[in-house]
Amino acid sequence: MDLDEALRKRRSIRSYLHKEVPEKLVRQVLEAATFAPSAKNGQQWRFTVLTGTAKKDLTNRFRHELEVLCKKIGEEEMGSTFVSCSIMEEAPVVIMVWNAGDMGWETEKYSVAAAIQNMLLKAHSLGLGTLWIGDIFATIEALEQHLNKPWKLISAVALGWPDYIPNGPWDGRPRKSVDEVAEFLC
């Protein structure tokens, strides 16, 4: 797929078909992640690929923790967290993305973000849909404890065959123009 087409047509997918994603394709998505730039070439990214019971255990924990939080702070403070949890429940694959950097650099997490963007674009080029899910931060400690790794969670990425594909940036998520977001100094 042409890069410009991939950049313009990739969209967040929030509805997935009940159809398995072959591990071979998941591996291609992860390999694309490993081509990302990283701070001092530290390749701080790590991935936990969840399907089946492992995914169910994680999303059950996420939902439980959200319910506990909701009782404390009230529904109106929960934002999109429950919806994101439902998407993780529906998607056939959820990839938990970690920052394994141990230098304490701010830049370590940017390496991981770059890897995630590569994942989204590669998945799109394979006809797969993704959703970058930051809502896990609502209950991040519980999810880290559940998965029990010596790293910091950066995001979850839902992955699967899209059930509905938005048309482009103009369909619900318009983009600011270059003139709105950039200045040129000389």
Binding site for ligand FMN (CB under 6 A): 11-12, 14, 80, 84, 131-135, 173
Q: Which of 132, 139, 137 is nearest to 156 (CA)?
A: 132
From the CB of 143, what's the least distance to ligand FMN, in Å? 13
Residue nearest to ligand FMN as judged by C-beta position = 134
From the CB of 168, what's the least distance to ligand FMN, in Å? 9
Residue 82 burial (10 A CB sphere; 0-12, 13-18, 19+)? middle
Give the pairing type, strands 152-160 and 129-133.
Answer: antiparallel
Q: Which residue number, 27 or 175, has a Cβ lying nearer to ligand FMN?
A: 175
Q: Which residue number, 105 or 132, has a Cβ lying nearer to ligand FMN?
A: 132
Q: Which residue number, 62 or 151, has a Cβ lying nearer to ligand FMN?
A: 62
Q: Which residue number, 104 or 174, has a Cβ lying nearer to ligand FMN?
A: 174
From the CB of 166, what's the least distance to ligand FMN, in Å? 6
* Residue 43 backbone phi and psi in degrees, to 5: 45, 55
CA distance 112 to 118: 10
Residues with Cβ within 8 Å of 47's Cβ and at least 6 positions away in sequence, in order, are 30, 33, 95, 96, 97, 98
Q: Which residue number, 95 or 133, has a Cβ lying nearer to ligand FMN?
A: 133
Decide if 33 contacts 98 (C-beta within 8 A). no
From the CB of 139, what's the least distance to ligand FMN, in Å? 12
Q: Which residue number, 170 or 184, has a Cβ lying nearer to ligand FMN?
A: 170
From the CB of 27, what's the least distance to ligand FMN, in Å? 23
From the CB of 16, what's the least distance to ligand FMN, in Å? 13
